[in-house]
Amino acid sequence: MPSWIGAVILPLSGLLLSLPAGADVKARSCGEVRQAYGAKGFSLADIPYQEIAGEHLRICPQEYTCCTTEMEDKLSQQSKLEFENLVEETSHFVRTTFVSRHKKFDEFFRELLENAEKSLNDMFVRTYGMLYMQNSEVFQDLFTELKRYYTGGNVNLEEMLNDFWARLLERMFQLINPQYHFSEDYLECVSKYTDQLKPFGDVPRKLKIQVTRAFIAARTFVQGLTVGREVANRVSKVSPTPGCIRALMKMLYCPYCRGLPTVRPCNNYCLNVMKGCLANQADLDTEWNLFIDAMLLVAERLEGPFNIESVMDPIDVKISEAIMNMQENSMQVSAKVFQGCGQPKPAPALRSARSAPENFNTRFRPYNPEERPTTAAGTSLDRLVTDIKEKLKLSKKVWSALPYTICKDESVTAGTSNEEECWNGHSKARYLPEIMNDGLTNQINNPEVDVDITRPDTFIRQQIMALRVMTNKLKNAYNGNDVNFQDTSEESSGSGSGSGCMDDVCPTEFEFVTTEAPAADPDRREVDSSAARLGHSLLSWSFACIVLALQRLGR
């Protein structure tokens, strides 16, 4: 036998002995791997046509292989990118939920405030005419402050509403006593009697309770949607550790190096890799679930007693009712103020006959409910809340479920039905190690990913803290408390800004009615009755004012 034949046979016999038991001769060819590798967009210049010795491999088994060092590096980077995309795609539902619902709620609340202001302005122009237009900044300032509060401004709702009624009392007091001149000091004295005299009846007290708790709930809920959106967006962008990248490469692309590009990872194998790579995300779940529960509680308030739509829709009629109360009790109010603040000085004589009729000509025309604006943003708060509650419930446990959702994807694993025909990290066979539990501390014995359980991810801990702070605000909002203005000295007494109220003084959710309420509703009749009484009172008041002005002109 020629010597060159022996030189060829000996290496071939060594190669055959090194192949796994039962290996097919076709496994020597890298044709399938070349095709799969090229389909990923990589250059085929890196890949051999036949298997080569694998001593150079740093992640995959160092047996005969179709991978060069360059291929292993590129596939390792590819596995990292695919993992990042998988996490983003898997968390897509929760991210889009918070993004889209935040936009809808924010648009609704803003438009609701705009509609309420427009409705009040239109009604008061018709009702009070020039009297309103000369004092419209009082009402404009009210809505400006409500909008500023909603958008995160440093506004104490109770103090702001108290100031509104005090300013309105000052303006009204001057209008019902045009024969007197009032100094700034005198008007300041008048405003001090607001609580004592209750010139506007019980409307300010009820309205303050309803407005504060409704706005606290609405603003806090939208802030919660903002926090949920930001946390979901941040957590879905993962930065895998070196240990995770090695495990991903071994799971996703070492089958390529072994000449098995069509064999997918075993399902349980995938779970252990993902639980190791997403251990910190799973630790977010506890605080996330508490946050979702708190959001659901406030959502129930929004569709119940803290419904901002049912508060803002008839606010113009309610304020008109308060003004009417002031007019009906004007003589008693004035007498008590004069007694407490002293007799004011007479006003200078009117200079012309034109000014009085122009100032006091108030023709009232009752509003038509059909003229009121349609629901904000083309929807209603009830519909928005029903929708978001369903979505929030579906987003619970989303972070601990990530490994299961990813590994259930048929494009990632072989599935639970192919436990014998899947990649187990070494060969095509069943995966035997047990599945790890969720969370960082449970990865101490993870057989696939090297996880440092002593160093929690700082970024994830920041998100946990953000959720914890927001959950606390939501719980306060659920109880009618504004955490930004919570006075610890008054907390135990239930007073303080935006505090909750006792059952005997809390108005029910039916004290304000929506535009969809039937005409037979007793509360609707009360609002309509208030408007009718307002018309009668205004006509009487207007007539009295004109007579008084004419008397002064005749002196």
CA proximity to 442, closest of 240, 282, 259: 282
Angle among Cα 418, 421, 426 to the nearest 5 degrees reads: 125
Quick one: pLDDT at residue 484? 59
CA proximity to 197, closest of 341, 339, 332: 332
Q: CA–CA separation, 66 vs 49, rounded Å?
A: 8
Q: Write out the two tokens for 151.
A: 């958008």
In the three-class reduction of DSSP (H, G, I as helix; E, B as strand; rest coil), residue 445 is classed as coil
- Whole-number percent of the chain with pLDDT over 70: 77
What lies within 8 Å, CB to CB, of 13 at 6+ separation is none
Quick one: pLDDT at residue 347? 79
Quick one: pLDDT at residue 376? 66
Q: How does DSSP assign 503-549, residue by residue?
A: TTTSPPTTSS--TTS-TT-HHHHHHHHHHHHHHHHHHHHHHHHHHHH
What lies within 8 Å, CB to CB, of 440 at 6+ separation is 279, 280, 282, 283, 451, 453, 456
What sign has the CA pseudo-torsion 496, 502, 505, 511? positive
CA proximity to 277, closest of 287, 269, 288, 286: 269
257 and 74 Cβ atoms separated by less than 8 Å: no
Q: What parts of the chain have a pLDDT lower than 70?
A: 1-27, 349-378, 483-555
- Judged on CB neighbours under 10 Å (0-12, 13-18, 19+), 116 is buried
Quick one: pLDDT at residue 377? 60
pLDDT in tens, 37-79: 999 889 888 789 999 998 999 999 888 999 999 999 999 999 9
How many CB atoms lie under 10 A from the CB of residue 117? 20
Helices (H), 44-183: 69-90, 92-128, 130-134, 136-150, 157-176
Chain-centre distance of CA 494, in angstroms?
A: 27
Q: CA–CA separation, 32 vs 53, rounded Å?
A: 18
CA proximity to 370, closest of 480, 516, 512, 255: 516
In the three-class reduction of DSSP (H, G, I as helix; E, B as strand; rest coil), residue 308 is classed as helix
CA proximity to 126, closest of 540, 517, 538, 524: 538
- Judged on CB neighbours under 10 Å (0-12, 13-18, 19+), 227 is buried
pLDDT in tens, 200-227: 999 999 999 999 999 999 999 999 999 9
329 and 199 Cβ atoms separated by less than 8 Å: yes
What are residue 345's phi and psi, to 5 degrees?
-80, 145
Amino acid letter, 338? F
